[in-house]
Amino acid sequence: MKRFQEKYQKEVVPLLKKEWQLDNNAAVPKVEKVIVNMGIAQDYEDKTALLKAQESLQWITGQKPEICRAKKSIADFSLRQGAPIGLKVTLRREKMGDFLDKFFNIVLPQVKDFRGLSLDSFDGHGNYSIGLVENIVFPEVSYDKMDRARSLEITIVTNTSRDDWAKRLLELLGAPFEKKKKRKN
C-alpha cells in the first residue's frame, strides 16, 4: 500500500470518524480523483509545441494526457472547431495518491513566495482548484527540454458536498492551507 493511501486509512479515517462522530469508514469523505489541465490554445497550430506540452504533462502526472478540442469556431480568437486547445489528465487511486503526496510535500514548498493554499478556491461542492503559473516547479520537468513554461490547473475532487469537510480532509492529507490572519480591532 502506498504512503498516501496508508496515511488516509491509518490516520485520517479514525481521526475524522472521531471528530465528526461518524459510525463507519464509508461515511468519511475521501479524494475521488485529481484532474490536471493545461491550456495550449496559443500553440494550437504548432505541432512541436503541442508534443512538448503533452510530454511535459505526462512527466508530471505519469499518465498520457487527453487532448481537448474546441467545440466551435471563434473568429475573434482565430480558433477553429476541432483545434486542440488543452490537455487533461484524470488521476485515480495510486497515481492520484502519488501525485498529491508529491504535490503537497515537494512541489508546493518550492513555489516562490508560497504562503499556503488559498481558502477561497473551494467550489461550494467540496472540490478544490489550484492554479500554477509555471509547470517547472515539478521536479520531473526539465527546463532544457521545454520550449517554454506553461500554466496548470489542478482540481481535487472529493466525495463530500461540504467545503469545510473537504478542507479538513485535505488538511489532514498534507495540504498546506494559508493561515488565517488575526484581525486587530
Which tens digit of pLDDT belongs to each residue from 149-171? 777 888 999 888 888 888 888 88
Q: What span, in angstroms and rounded, lies between the C-alpha atoms of 103 and 109? A: 9
32 DSSP assignment = E
Which tops the pLDDT comparison, 73 or 58?
A: 58
Residue pLDDT, tens place only, 59-89: 888 888 888 777 777 666 666 777 777 788 8
- Give the chain's domains with CATH numbers: 3-172 (3.30.1440.10)
Which tops the pLDDT comparison, 41 or 134?
A: 134
The set of cell numbers assigned to 96 is: 492520484
Which residues, 6 or more positions from 166, have their beta carbon under 8 angstroms from its beta carbon? 29, 122, 126, 127, 128, 158, 160
If you average pLDDT over every residue of the chain, what do you get?
A: 78
Name the phi and psi angles at 39, rounded to 5.
-80, 135
Least confident range of 45-59, 80-94, 130-144: 130-144
**What pLDDT is attached to residue 101?**
83
pLDDT of 22 higher than 60 = yes
The set of cell numbers assigned to 89 is: 489528465
176 φψ region: left (φ > 0), alpha (ψ -120 to 50), beta (else) = beta
Query: pTM of the entire structure?
Result: 0.80
